[in-house]
Amino acid sequence: MDDKKKSKSVTLKRTVTIKAIVTEDFRKYLVYELQNSIKSLDEKLQQMEIQGKQLVEMMTKQGALDQISSIKQQIELERVQQKSAKDELTKRVDEAQSLPIDSEFVQGTIDGFVSIKPGDNLYQKLGAMEIIIKDGIIQDITGDVEEK
The percent of residues above 70 in pLDDT, for the chain, comes to 93
**Across residues 125-130, what is the average pLDDT?**
89
**Burial class of residue 20 (count of CB atoms within 10 Å of its CB; 0-12, 13-18, 19+):** buried
With 90 as the cut, is the pLDDT of residue 63 above it? no
**Cβ neighbours for 5, distance < 8 A, ≥ 6 positions apart:** 118
In the predicted model, what is the mean pLDDT of residues 112-117?
Answer: 90
- Best CA proximity match to 41, nearest among 98, 80, 95: 80
As beta bridge partners, residue 8 has none
What span, in angstroms and rounded, lies between the C-alpha atoms of 143 and 129?
A: 4
28 vs 52, which has greater pLDDT? 28
Q: Which amino acid is at 15?
A: T
On average, the pLDDT of the chain sits at: 88
Give the per-residue pLDDT at 143: 82
Give the model's confidence band at 147: pLDDT under 50 very low, under 70 low, under 90 confident, else very high: low
Please name the residues in contact with 20: beta carbons below 8 A apart, sequence gap of 6 or more. Answer: 26, 104, 105, 107, 132, 133, 134
pLDDT category of residue 1 using cuts at 50, 70 and 90: very low
- Tell whether the model's pLDDT for residue 129 goes beyond 60: yes
- Residue 114 Cα distances to 109, 128, 145, angstroms: 15, 12, 8
Beta bridge partners of 56: none
Phi, psi of 92 (to 5 degrees): -65, -30
Residue 131 pLDDT exceeds 80: yes
Strand positions, DSSP E, 22-116? 104-116
